[in-house]
């Protein structure tokens, strides 16, 4: 049996808290150039598939932006994490397109202001990739328009009105 030292335990807790504080947001818009916000998803968890295939969100997301997401991941050899958009409901197909998460903090990188310019149509799900494996799913269709604080073991669940 391996015992953990007090300093090792404190380091582990500090690392866990730092990871939790990195949970960011993704904003989804109906129109190009970030117009007509449909949803803000708070506390986005990497490798969780967020499903959009329902009435108000299905095939209507035209632009997206994000912030405070972890920029480092294990999937790419460069160590970067990416935000991927899919036409499939469960993030099970190949991503239609992915964007470096670093777009949130670099003036030389751009958020997808108009998915149709990248030949992306009919977005039904998205995921912030760390390992690239879908570890869980969250159905955004079960919640009315607004801001979604996604439930998980790290945070509670909360919904507030948005500017739909």
Kindly list the domain boundaries of the chain, sorted by start residue. Answer: 23-160
Tell me how far apart the alpha carbons of residues 28 and 153 are, in angstroms, rounded to a whole number.
Answer: 24
What is the mean pLDDT of the segment spanning 29-55? Answer: 91
Supply angle C-alpha 34, 156, 102, rounded to 5: 40
What does pTM read for this prediction? 0.72
Tokens 């807790």 label which residue? 13
Q: Which three-class secondary structure state does DSSP give residue 133?
A: coil
Between 89 and 105, the more confident residue is 89
Cβ atoms of residues 59 and 30 within 8 Å: no
Between 153 and 36, the more confident residue is 36
Tell me how far apart the alpha carbons of residues 84 and 37 are, in angstroms, rounded to a whole number.
Answer: 19
Q: Which three-class secondary structure state does DSSP give residue 55?
A: coil
Residue 59, phi-psi category: left (phi > 0), alpha (psi -120 to 50), beta (remainder): left
Q: Residue 23 has what pLDDT?
A: 72
Judged against a pLDDT cut of 50, whether residue 18 lies above it is answered with no
Q: Residue 40 has what pLDDT?
A: 92
Judged against a pLDDT cut of 60, whether residue 161 lies above it is answered with no
Q: What is the largest CA-CA distance in the chain?
A: 57
Tell me how far apart the alpha carbons of residues 6 and 154 are, in angstroms, rounded to a whole number.
Answer: 23
Q: What is the dihedral of CA 142, 27, 81, 55, to 10 degrees?
A: 40
Band of pLDDT at residue 49, cut at 50, 70 and 90: very high
The CA distances from residue 153 to 45, 150, 160, in Å, are: 11, 10, 20
Tell me how far apart the alpha carbons of residues 105 and 108 are, in angstroms, rounded to a whole number.
Answer: 9
CATH topology of domain 23-160: Gamma-B Crystallin; domain 1 (2.60.20)
Per-residue pLDDT of 93-151, as tens digits, reads 887 778 888 876 665 556 788 888 888 877 889 999 999 899 999 888 765 555 566 55
Give me the chain's average pLDDT, please.
75
What is the mean pLDDT of the segment spanning 32-51? Answer: 92
């Amino acid at each position: 049996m391996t015992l953990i030292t007090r300093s090792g335990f404190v380091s582990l807790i500090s690392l866990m808290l730092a990871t939790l504080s990195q949970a960011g947001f993704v904003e989804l818009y109906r129109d190009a150039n970030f117009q007509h916000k449909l949803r803000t998803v708070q506390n986005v968890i990497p490798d969780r598939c967020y499903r959009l295939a329902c009435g108000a969100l299905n095939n209507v997301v035209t632009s997206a932006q994000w912030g405070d997401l972890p920029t480092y991941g294990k999937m790419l050899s460069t160590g970067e994490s990416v935000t991927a958009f899919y036409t499939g409901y469960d993030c099970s197909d190949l991503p239609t397109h992915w964007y470096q998460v670093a777009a949130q903090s670099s003036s030389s990188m751009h958020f997808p202001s108009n998915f149709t310019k990248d030949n992306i149509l009919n977005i039904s799900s998205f995921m912030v990739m760390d390992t690239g494996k879908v570890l869980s799913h969250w159905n955004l269709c079960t919640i009315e328009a607004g801001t979604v604080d996604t439930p998980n073991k790290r945070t509670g669940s909360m919904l507030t009105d948005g500017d739909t």
